[in-house]
A and B are shown apart, each in its own frame.
Chain A
C-alpha cells in the first residue's frame, strides 16, 4: 500500500470575481522513502494542490476528491485529528526561509514548541531535542543557535533550521515547496544533499515542488508535470527527462540551457504564456501554445493514461511516442 494516495483532487477558490478552479482533478501516489517531484510553471496549481493536503488553503477555498494517508482521508480531518497529522506525520517546508520562521522568537523556542506540542516533552527535554535536530541538519554550534533569532542566520542556514523544525517529530512525509528557489546555487546543493540523506537514513518520503528541472533530476525518483491545474505527464525521473512524451514537457526541457552550450544557441522559449486560472482554454489547456495540437485538443481535455511502465501521459496526439 502506498504512503499517500491522492484521487481526483480539485480545489476551487472563491474570489471577488466568482469561483476559480485552481486544481482540476489530480491523481498521484507517493511511496515510502520516495522523492516525488512536482514540476510546472507558477500558476499551474502545484503549490495549492499540496497546501490542500494539510488544509492550509486560504479562506474561501473548497476542496473535493480524496487524499488517503494511513487509512484516513486528509481532506476530511478536523480539530485534534488534523493537528495530529499536521506536523507529526506530514510536515512542510516553505519556499522562503526568510519569512517562514517567526522573526521575534528564538530558534530554540520555535523548535521546542513543536516538540512539546506533539510529544508533551518537558521544556528541558524539548530544548535538548531541538539542539539534536540542529546538529542533524548541520548547524554549527547548535546549543548557541538555540538562543539566536532567525535574522542572525543566512538564508541557507535558515532553510536548514526550517527543515529541522519540520523534522522535529519524525514525520513520514515532508512537503517541500520550492525549498531551494530562494537560495544561492551552492547553498541549494547543500539543502538537496540534506534532503537526500534524510530520505536514505530515515525512509522519509518527500513531495518536492520545484519549477527547476535541474533540481528535479538530481534528487527526485518520480516526476509529475503540472499544467493549468492538471498533471499532463508523469513517470520515473530519468526516463521522463530523457524521453519526454508530452509536447509541454518537451518544450520545458528544450528551453533548458545546455551545459556544454557556449550560450550562442537561442533558448527555445515556449511561445505564449501559461493561462491564468480564470481563463483556462477549453480542451487540452496547452493547445494554444502547442505546435502539435489537433482538433480534438481544442475540444476535449485528454485523459491521463498509462503509456508504459509507470508512465502516464495526457495528450491526444502523443507526437513523441517511441516507435517500438
Chain B
C-alpha cells in the first residue's frame, strides 16, 4: 500500500557522451595540441630539420647551443634533426601497431563473446597466456627469434598487445548482447552477423577508442624500449629509443640521450592526456572523474 508515483527504485539518467565537455578540460587541450604538433613534425620533418639526420657534417659531441640547438652526437650528426626525424619512425609505427592490435584483438574478442563456447575458451586462454608474460620479455624473445629489426619489433608488439582489446571487446559484447534491444533485434529475425555489426560494434567503439588512445602511448614506450635494447630500429636510423641508448654509451654528453628521451616522454604524455580525457567523456565509469556527480 504505497503511494503510486513514488518510485523507490532509483532512476537512471541516460548519459549521452558530451564531446563538448572535453574542451573544458585543459588536459585534453594540452594533449591534443601536443599530439597534433608531433604529427605535424612527423609530416614536415624534412622542412623543419636544419640538416640531414644521417649526415655526419659537424664536429662530434658539440654541446647544445650555437648552430646546433640540441648539440651533435658522437658521429657529428645534428641531434635536433635526429629527434625531428625520429617522429617519422615512432608515430606512424605506433599508429600501425595499435591499429593492427585493435583489428586482431577486437575481431577475436567480438567473435569469442558472440559465439562463446569452444571458440571463446580458445581465444581467452590464448589471451591469458600472453598476459602471463611481461610484455617486454615476450616481445624481446619474439624479436630476438625473428631477428632484430623495426618490422619484427612491431610484429612482436602486436602479438603482446591484442589481448587487452580482445578482453574489453568480449566483455562489452557479452554485456550488450544481453540487453533487450539486441535480443529484440534477433527476435525480429536479424542475422547474427547483422546484429554484431549494426548493434553491438557501435556500442563498443567508445571504450575501445579510449583503450587505443592510451595504448598509443604504451606502444611508443615499448617500441622505443625494444629499440633501446637494440632489438628494434637499427643504426643509423634516428629512432628515439636507440638515441637514448647512444646517450648511455656517451653518458657524459647528456644531450645525446636526453632529447630523444624527452621526445618519447612528450609524445606518450600527449596520448595519455588525450586518452584520459577521452575516458572522462566516453567511458565515465572508469574515468578519473568517476563519482564526481552525485544526485
User: Do these two chains interact?
Assistant: yes
Dominant secondary structure of chain B at its interface with chain A: loop
Residue of A nearest to B18 (CB): A16
Residue of B nearest to A217 (CB): B1
Count of chain A residues with a beta carbon within 8 Å of a chain B beta carbon: 26
* Interchain pairs with CB closer than 8 A, number: 43
Count of chain B residues with a beta carbon within 8 Å of a chain A beta carbon: 10
Q: Hey, which chain B residues are within 8 Å of A31, CB to CB? A: none
Q: Hey, which chain A residues are within 8 Å of B65, CB to CB? A: none
| B7 interface residue (CB < 8 Å to A) | yes
Q: Is A256 touching B8 in the complex (CB atoms < 8 A)? A: no
Q: Is B8 touching A41 in the complex (CB atoms < 8 A)? A: no
Assembly CA distance A214 to B6 (angstroms): 14
Minimum distance in angstroms from A316 CB to a CB of chain B: 23
Residue of B nearest to A39 (CB): B3
Q: Hey, which chain B residues are within 8 Å of A121, CB to CB? A: none
Minimum distance in angstroms from A90 CB to a CB of chain B: 22
| A299 interface residue (CB < 8 Å to B) | no
Q: Hey, which chain B residues are within 8 Å of A60, CB to CB? A: 294
Residues 86 to 118 of chain A near chain B (Cβ within 8 Å) = 95
Residues 269 to 319 of chain A near chain B (Cβ within 8 Å) = 269-270, 273-274
Q: Is B8 touching A181 in the complex (CB atoms < 8 A)? A: yes
Residues 1 to 43 of chain B near chain A (Cβ within 8 Å) = 1-8
Q: Is A42 touching B8 in the complex (CB atoms < 8 A)? A: yes
Assembly CA distance A60 to B2 (angstroms): 32
Select one of A58, A95, A213 contacting B1, CB under 8 A: A213
Q: A267 and B2 in contact (CB under 8 A), knowing A15-B293, A16-B293?
A: no
Residues 244 to 295 of chain B near chain A (Cβ within 8 Å) = 293-294
Q: Hey, which chain B residues are within 8 Å of A255, CB to CB? A: 3-5
Assembly CA distance A3 to B149 (angstroms): 81
| A178 interface residue (CB < 8 Å to B) | yes
Q: Hey, which chain A residues are within 8 Å of B6, CB to CB? A: 40-42, 211
Residue of B nearest to A213 (CB): B3
Minimum distance in angstroms from A39 CB to a CB of chain B: 8
Listed by A's residue number, 13 A-B pairs whose Cβ atoms lie within 8 Å are A15-B293, A41-B6, A58-B294, A178-B8, A211-B2, A211-B8, A212-B2, A252-B3, A255-B4, A255-B5, A267-B4, A269-B4, A269-B5
Enumerate the 8 nearest inter-chain pairs by beta-carbon distance, A residue then B residue, closest first: A211-B6, A214-B1, A58-B294, A41-B6, A212-B2, A269-B4, A255-B4, A211-B3
With A15-B293, A255-B5 given, can you name 13 additional A-B contacts, CB distance below 8 Å? A39-B3, A40-B6, A41-B3, A42-B6, A58-B294, A211-B2, A212-B1, A212-B2, A213-B1, A214-B1, A256-B3, A270-B5, A274-B5
